[in-house]
Amino acid sequence: MTSSRLRALVVDDEPLARRTLCELLERERDVELVGVCRDGPSATEAIRSGRPDLLFLDVQMPELDGFGVLRAVRDIHVPAVVFVTAFGEHAVRAFDEEATDYLVKPFDDDRFGRALDRARARIEAARRETAPEQEPNRWLERFAVDCAGRISIIPVDTVQWIEAQDYYVQIHAEGKEHLLRESLRNLETRLDPRRFARVHRSAIVNVGCVKQLRRRTHGEYALLLEDGTELKLSRTHRDQLQLLLGMR
């Protein structure tokens, strides 16, 4: 990404909903909360002045509803919009408005995480489209890992896969494991998406190390890497991986 920080704006007329969304977003190292609004008119002003990347937008609000807000800022490009509402009947209209996701209250942390992951992917795609053609390589080429007072340099090309370990990631490269203090979500934004793909909520693989896709029951798939590692492939990420593997 041009910047690893996503600028997010929360718009909801319910105090509890605003507080919940803010608390969830503040846990994310790659998200900057740039504003909180309780009605449509203030949201319109905040979008125009703050130009957020990501908008968590309530549907039903006094004065101006969520759809009215989007109409009022048609000339402002907001890469990712996640509607948040207690009513499921607006979903079709929301996706007609090219919403990234539609969260129905109450939602749990996992469902929120999936919505945020989709927003990250949408924002990354938008930034790639607008990036200057002559922009220098912005993807990681190596990792510097501190272990017992020594700094090990690990070329990205040698990495087979990466897994989440609480506030760390574990890098698997050339038969060895290395811990790096960084979230998987943040690291994903710094890896070349043509070479590395999220395959599960807690795993990223080097696409060049994928040996097989194995079908499981109920439409599930598993990945087999060249070193014999087998990983679950979630349905959420299957299409993108198949595209990178030339299967679509």
CATH number at residue 84: 3.40.50.2300
Q: What's residue 86's pLDDT?
A: 86
Range of the domain at 152: 143-244
Question: Does residue 136 lie in a domain region?
Answer: no
CA distances to 14, 22, 67, 91, 131 from 59, rounded to whole Å, are 11, 17, 7, 10, 32
In the predicted structure, residue 3 carries a pLDDT above the cut 80: no
Question: Does residue 135 lie in a domain region?
Answer: no
pLDDT for 152-189, tens place per residue? 899 999 999 999 988 889 999 999 999 998 888 888 88
Domain count within the chain: 2
Decide which of 98, 130, 162 is a domain's last residue: 130
Same domain, 17 and 96: yes
Question: Does residue 24 lie in a domain region?
Answer: yes
Same domain, 110 and 16: yes
Measure the CA–CA gap between 53 and 78, rounded to whole angstroms.
Answer: 6
**What is the pLDDT of the chain when averaged over all its residues?**
87
Measure the CA–CA gap between 217 and 142, rounded to whole angstroms.
Answer: 38
In the predicted structure, residue 147 carries a pLDDT above the cut 60: yes
Nearest C-alpha neighbor of 37 from the set 26, 21, 53: 21
For residue 134, give the 3-state DSSP assignment.
coil
In the predicted structure, residue 115 carries a pLDDT above the cut 60: yes
Token pair for residue 147? Answer: 């272990």
Same domain, 90 and 170: no
Q: What's residue 81's pLDDT?
A: 93
Please give the angle made by the CA atoms of 174, 179 and 183, to the nearest 5 degrees.
Answer: 115
CATH number at residue 151: 2.40.50.1020
Phi, psi (rounded to 5 degrees) for 81: -125, 125
CA distances to 37, 40, 123 from 45, rounded to whole Å, are 10, 9, 21
Residue 219 Rama label (left phi>0; alpha psi -120 to 50; beta):
left
pLDDT for 65-106, tens place per residue? 999 999 898 888 888 999 998 887 778 788 777 788 998 988
Q: What is the pTM (predicted TM-score) of this model? A: 0.52
**Residue 241 pLDDT class (50, 70, 90 cuts):** confident
Same domain, 107 and 151: no
The average pLDDT across 22-46 equals: 93
**What is the b/e burial string over 49-82, where b = at least 16 CB atoms within 10 angstroms of the residue's CB?**
eeebbbbbbbbebeebbbbebbebbeeeebbbbb
In order, the DSSP letters of 225-241 are: ETTS-EEEE-HHHHHHH
97 vs 17, more confident: 17
Q: What's residue 134's pLDDT?
A: 45
Question: Does residue 137 lie in a domain region?
Answer: no
Q: What's residue 2's pLDDT?
A: 40
